[in-house]
Amino acid sequence: MRLKNSTFGILCSVPGLIVLLAFIAYPLAYNFVVSLMKYKYTMGGYVGFSNYLRVISSRDFKIGWRVAFYYSVGSSGLAFLVSLVMAESLRRIKRLRAFFRTLVILPWSVPLVLSGIVFKWMFDGQIGIVNYVLRLLGIVSDNIAFLYHPTWALATAMVGTAYVYVPFMTVLIHAGMESVPAEVYEAASIDGADELQKFRYVTLPLVEKQMLIAFFIVWMFTFRTPDLIYALTKGGPGKATFHAGLYLMRTIYSYLNFGHGAAISVLMFITVALVIGPVLYFVFVKRG
């Protein structure tokens, strides 16, 4: 008694599909149902889309989404620029490449939350080493209270987050560059292209897909993950770094308003899908 190959394939996939349904599809559906209910401490009745309307019209929603957008675009943009320079440098060296690649990846082993705590201290207004270095170099004359000014606090969060994602992004962009045959660069040199032109006419078009994916993966992570901000500022000063993820957390955890929380969750999913969907389509369907 021997099963057909395709039947065997189906049997193999069954456990994976069960996990997918039980752990992801069902909770998502359940979450959607809850978002249509009045559910504060205890389950109430069906209220249609009123949770969504309440959430969207609240001030916290606007702040949370605005902060998450600024923060995610800022951190992924900054991480992208740094990663591009690092990856390009990695591409050009012959010796010690594995060594430098290991060094670049190492910071990735730091949990986000620990990064947040360590940055909180390095950027401290009294004993922070960042202030010390800035004063040493004569850039500022007085300590800057990084985490007490709304704009500085958000900028610090962006710098800290960019730091966390540079290793990951560098690896992805570097891998994309590795897939370009060396002959292409040699040909460009023979045609008299200088380094900037090489970057513009060889690297950019050929590694564009990987760069887009790398940028948007990190954008996605930073838009939805509040860990670092939670450790760095808890959303303060005031609500200057009140990330959408913190808004969700507070609604669930402090206010126990599950109906609103579920609506925020769905809105978060929709926001990410609206941004990432077209990108995926553009990268995989139009580009083949």
Partner 1 sequence: MGWIREKIDAAIRWKATPYIVLIIGCSILLFPLYWTVITSFKSVGEIFTWPPTLFPKDWTLYNYVKVILNSPIPLNILNSVIYALVVTAFVLVVGVLTTYGLVMYPYRGSEKIAFTFFATRIIPPQSLWLPFLIMLTRLGLVNSRPGVISFLVVLVYPLSIWMLRGIFGAFPRELLDAAEIDGATRLQALIRVVLPVVAPGVGAVAIISFLWSWNEFMFPLLCLNSPELYPITLGIFRFVSDEGIQWGSICASGVFAILPGMIFFIIAQRYIVEGLTEGALKT
161-200 binders of partner 1 (CB under 8 A):
163, 166-168, 171-172, 174-176, 194-196
- Rounded to whole angstroms, how far apart are CA atoms 153 and 118? 14
Residue 57 CB, nearest distance to partner 1 (Å)? 20
Nearer to partner 1, 175 or 187 (CB): 175
Residues that bind partner 1 (rule: CB under 8 A) add up to a total of 100
Q: Any alpha helices (H) in the chain, and if so which ranges?
A: 5-20, 26-35, 50-57, 59-92, 97-105, 112-122, 129-136, 150-178, 182-190, 195-198, 204-224, 227-232, 244-253, 258-280
Residue 217 binds partner 1, judged by CB under 8 A: yes
| Residues between 78 and 117 that touch partner 1 (CB under 8 A) | 82, 85-86, 88-90, 92-93, 96, 98, 100-115, 117
Residue 41 CB, nearest distance to partner 1 (Å)? 12
Q: What is the 3-state secondary structure (H, E, C) of 180-239?
A: CCHHHHHHHHHCCCCHHHHHHHHHHHHHHHHHHHHHHHHHHHHHHCCHHHHHHCCCCCCC
| Residues between 266 and 285 that touch partner 1 (CB under 8 A) | 266, 268-269, 272-273, 276-277, 280, 284
| Residues between 226 and 245 that touch partner 1 (CB under 8 A) | 226-227, 230-231, 245
| Residues between 113 and 172 that touch partner 1 (CB under 8 A) | 113-115, 117-122, 126-127, 129, 132, 163, 166-168, 171-172
What are residue 42's phi and psi, to 5 degrees?
A: -130, 155
Nearer to partner 1, 31 or 66 (CB): 31
Chain CA centroid to CA 48, Å: 32
Nearer to partner 1, 56 or 249 (CB): 249
In what helix (H) or strand (E) does residue 37 lie, and over which residues does it extend?
Answer: strand 37-40
| Residues between 43 and 72 that touch partner 1 (CB under 8 A) | none
Residue 6 binds partner 1, judged by CB under 8 A: yes
- Among the residue ranges 45-53, 70-78, 149-157, 214-222, the one whose residues contact partner 1 (CB under 8 A): 214-222
Q: What is the 3-state secondary structure (H, E, C) of 118-138?
A: HHHHHCCCCCCHHHHHHHHCC
Sign of the CA dihedral 25, 27, 29, 32? negative
Residue 205 binds partner 1, judged by CB under 8 A: no
